[in-house]
Amino acid sequence: MIEIYAGEFRTVSEALSEKLLNGELAADSSYFQAVLPILQLLGETCPERPEFSAWYAEFLHLDGNLRRAGEAYRRLLQAVPPEAPSDHEISLMRKFCPLLLTNPLEYFPLKDVAVVHHPVKPLIGYHLFWEDDYDFPDDYEPCDHEEIWVEYDPQTETVTRVLSFFHSRVIASEAAIAEAHENGGRPIIRVEWGKHGSLLKGWEEMCIPLTDQSIMEWMKTAYESMRAGGRLPGHPLKRHWPNRFDRNFEDYIDFSVPVDPLNFLHMKPLFFKSLCVNAVLYTEGLPYNFHPKMEWPERFGAAVRGSLV
């Protein structure tokens, strides 16, 4: 019977994955509630696989169970304790900190910056928390969480990769590496109006991974949406926000106002070293709720390759 149960469960999992990928099933509360007991069981029976416990906590977080998510994150950090970054690692986290270029009409200010060094790899995650997202006044998250990663050569201490999480896709750019070298090791990130998508040098010629759409096409579509008031234009929380983006497309892609995250890190030095980024940010970094994002870019790479392990 065990073989039968295992085979049937594999069939169930494949059907669930197929419906999720083709859009018949949304990654919402119904999905989270279906998967949470499985992840909890795997976390308890496979302690050598902390990713199961991490995903369990993340799904609780995504489903809005904030207290239970906090408890699960704390248990995760007991199993995979974070480390204190060394003074040298903190100096590198400062050295490679991206410089942001925002739109002159950007409404939402940057409110916090947290930096997490990978525990094994020469890889740094920069987590930006903007005051809100123009398209999501209804998400009960008082910020918009965006991510940038910088990989470096530990011998030469120079940038070797620059990546960002652009609307659920990881993008990378060789031009961004060269630009960082020209800027003393600091990548330059162009920030989309209202939604804060992190654009890399050369974005105009780039395509979005896992799609056939160019970033330029995506930006033009986003511009038309913002010009019409975005998602939920009549939401009461939007009553004090701009009604819409009322300029032309050239103004929409004007990234000319610098914002330096180092100023935020000077006032609030949120430097961490951990594999479990969401757990550290939630329990040790920020006093408010945020949207948990993909912690390290290899998770997206695994999805592209068709595997999550």
pTM of the model: 0.95
Helix (H, G, I), strand (E, B) or coil at 129: strand
Q: Which residues pair with 159 in a beta bridge?
A: 152
Pairing of the two strands 188-191 and 99-102: parallel
Q: What is the pLDDT along the chain (309 residues), one digit of tens a residue?
A: 888 988 988 998 999 889 998 999 898 999 999 999 999 999 999 999 999 999 999 999 999 999 999 999 999 999 999 999 999 999 999 999 999 999 999 999 999 999 999 999 999 999 999 999 999 999 999 999 999 999 999 999 999 999 999 999 999 999 999 999 999 999 999 999 999 999 999 999 999 998 889 999 999 999 999 999 999 999 999 999 999 999 999 999 999 999 999 999 999 999 999 999 999 999 999 999 999 999 999 987 766 555 433
Gap between the Cα atoms of 191 and 194, Å rounded: 9
Gap between the Cα atoms of 284 and 266, Å rounded: 17
pLDDT at 309: 36
Gap between the Cα atoms of 211 and 222, Å rounded: 16
Whether 147 and 170 have beta carbons less than 8 Å apart is answered as no
CA-atom Rg of the chain in angstroms:
20
Whether 101 and 191 have beta carbons less than 8 Å apart is answered as yes
Give the HSE-up count for residue 128: Cα atoms under 13 Å, Cβ half-sphere: 30
Q: Which residue has the tokens 């120079």?
A: 158
Pairing of the two strands 99-102 and 198-199: unpaired
pLDDT at 305: 58
Q: What angle do CA 87, 92, 95 make, to 5 degrees?
A: 125
Gap between the Cα atoms of 296 and 303, Å rounded: 12
pLDDT at 180: 98
